């Protein structure tokens, strides 16, 4: 697995990051531990921790996370009671969530703290103060943002928050980040980390002939995955299949290669099984310029 620096920082991250989206739901602690161990053995070094609004934190507390694994953790979202989610970047929320995450994983610091929401109501200076405190105390090493537009990224950096990366959904099926966020990040030397880099699972082509009973589409996440089963996505996926056939690889290989070629620092994936993980970590396809150009054309959307 390849590694590259996170933007202009000295931190090196693997080109595939391990997401925990399914942990505590369809992935129990035993399977999660195996995923962690096999991911590390394959050369991966970046694990995304969930916000405190998800149940997967219960699984995280049971795991042994090797010291060489970098932790990317989201804060800014919390659940005060069942089904009631609160968001915000006030000082108290940020500090308390960081302390809670550190207790959960048994670490003294988080490698990348991601502000998971843009809070228009809290003074940005208060958020910046909390970040400065955490950096000074050594509880975090780098800062990222998620669910931010280009101007919001610029504003956070403008108040002195040293944003090193931006996390945004990005894949052959969703290139909306290129409209505003990517130019702003490139200008500032901020790395882009791709969430849902496999098009919410659709780019694995698992839904071509039927809906697997253990898939997201068959369960409570049907709307999440189903959003990419429209006419446009079908056209893009048809082109991805042609490229995969021509190269003798899988559509998953093409999806990951596309992200690497477009400068994505790390693509977050959320495998549920060791077999799915092995497909991802073993993918090292590089696209010829002519194939990359065709994929670029068929996946581009005026909305991006």
Q: With pLDDT > 70 as the criterion, what percentage of the chain qualifies?
A: 90
DSSP state of 174: B
Residue 301 — very low, low, confident or very high, per pLDDT cuts 50/70/90? confident
pLDDT recorded at residue 217: 57
Torsion of the alpha carbons at 181, 183, 188 and 194, rounded to the nearest 10: 50
- Give the residue, 56 or 293, on which the prediction is more confident: 293
3-state secondary structure of 267: strand
Separation between Cα atoms, residue 258 and residue 171, nearest integer Å: 8
pLDDT recorded at residue 186: 97
Q: With pLDDT > 90 as the criterion, what percentage of the chain qualifies?
A: 78
Separation between Cα atoms, residue 44 and residue 17, nearest integer Å: 7
Per-residue model confidence as pLDDT tens digits over 79-102: 666 667 889 999 999 999 999 999
Separation between Cα atoms, residue 192 and residue 182, nearest integer Å: 7
HEC states along 109-159?
CEEEEEECCCCCCCCHHHHHHHHHHHHHHCCEEEEEEECCCHHHHHHHHHC
Mean pLDDT for the stretch of residues 38-45:
98
Q: How many CA atoms lie within 13 A of 90 on its CB side?
A: 8
Per-residue model confidence as pLDDT tens digits over 193-234: 999 999 998 999 988 865 666 666 556 667 767 788 889 999
Instruction: Evaluate if residue 190 carries a pLDDT over 90.
Output: yes
pLDDT recorded at residue 57: 66
What are the residues facing 140 on neighbouring strands? 110
CA dihedral for 135, 141, 146, 148, sign (positive or negative): positive
Q: How many CA atoms lie within 13 A of 154 on its CB side?
A: 10
Mean pLDDT of the residues in the chain: 91
pLDDT recorded at residue 244: 97
Per-residue model confidence as pLDDT tens digits over 119-158: 999 999 999 999 999 999 999 999 999 999 999 999 999 9
Instruction: Evaluate if residue 38 carries a pLDDT over 90.
Output: yes
Q: Which residue from 132, 86, 87 is spatially nearest to 113, judged by alpha carbons?
A: 132
What are the residues facing 84 on neighbouring strands? 81
Mean pLDDT for the stretch of residues 162-182:
97
pLDDT recorded at residue 90: 97
200: which 2 tokens?
């919410």
Phi and psi dihedrals of 269, rounded to 5? -130, 155
DSSP string, 7-71: TTSS-EEESEEE--TTBTTTB-HHHHHHHHHHHHHTT--EEEEPPTTSTHHHHHTT----TTSEE
Query: Is residue 120 left, alpha or beta, with left meaning phi > 0 and alpha meaning psi from -120 to 50?
Result: alpha
Task: Show Cβ contacts of residue 187 under 8 Å, excluding neighbours closer than 6 positions.
Answer: none
8: which 2 tokens?
């202009």
C-alpha radius of gyration, the chain, whole number = 19
- Give the residue, 143 or 20, on which the prediction is more confident: 143
- Give the residue, 225 or 25, on which the prediction is more confident: 25
User: With a threshold of 0.85, does the pTM exceed it?
Assistant: yes
pLDDT recorded at residue 21: 81
pLDDT recorded at residue 86: 86
- Give the residue, 25 or 218, on which the prediction is more confident: 25
């Amino acid at each position: 697995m390849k590694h590259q620096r996170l933007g202009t920082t000295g931190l090196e991250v693997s080109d595939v990051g391990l997401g925990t989206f399914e942990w505590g739901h369809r992935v129990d602690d035993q399977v999660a531990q195996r995923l962690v161990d096999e991911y590390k053995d394959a050369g991966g070094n970046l694990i995304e921790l969930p916000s405190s609004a998800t149940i997967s934190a219960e699984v995280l507390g049971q795991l042994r996370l090797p010291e060489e694994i970098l932790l990317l953790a989201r804060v800014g979202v919390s659940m005060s009671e069942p089904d009631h989610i609160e968001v915000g970047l006030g000082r108290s929320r940020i500090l308390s969530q960081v302390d809670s995450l550190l207790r959960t994983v048994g670490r003294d610091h988080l490698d990348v703290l991601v502000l998971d929401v843009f809070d228009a109501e809290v003074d940005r200076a208060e958020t910046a103060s909390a970040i400065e405190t955490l950096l000074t105390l050594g509880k975090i090493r780098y800062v990222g943002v998620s669910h931010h537009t280009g101007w919001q990224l610029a504003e956070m950096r403008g108040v002195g928050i040293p944003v090193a990366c931006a996390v945004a959904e990005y894949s052959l099926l969703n290139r909306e980040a290129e409209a505003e966020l990517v130019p702003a990040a490139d200008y500032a030397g901020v790395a882009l980390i791709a969430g849902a880099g496999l098009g919410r699972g659709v780019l694995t082509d698992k839904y071509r002939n039927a809906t697997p009973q253990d898939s997201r589409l068959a369960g409570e996440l049907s709307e999440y995955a189903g959003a990419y089963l429209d006419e446009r996505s079908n056209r893009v996926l048809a082109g991805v299949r042609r490229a995969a056939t021509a190269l003798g690889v899988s559509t998953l290989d093409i999806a990951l290669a596309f992200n690497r070629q477009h400068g994505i620092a790390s693509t977050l994936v959320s495998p549920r099984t060791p077999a799915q993980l092995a497909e991802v970590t073993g993918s090292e396809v590089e696209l010829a310029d002519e194939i990359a150009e065709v994929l670029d054309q068929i996946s581009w959307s005026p909305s991006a």
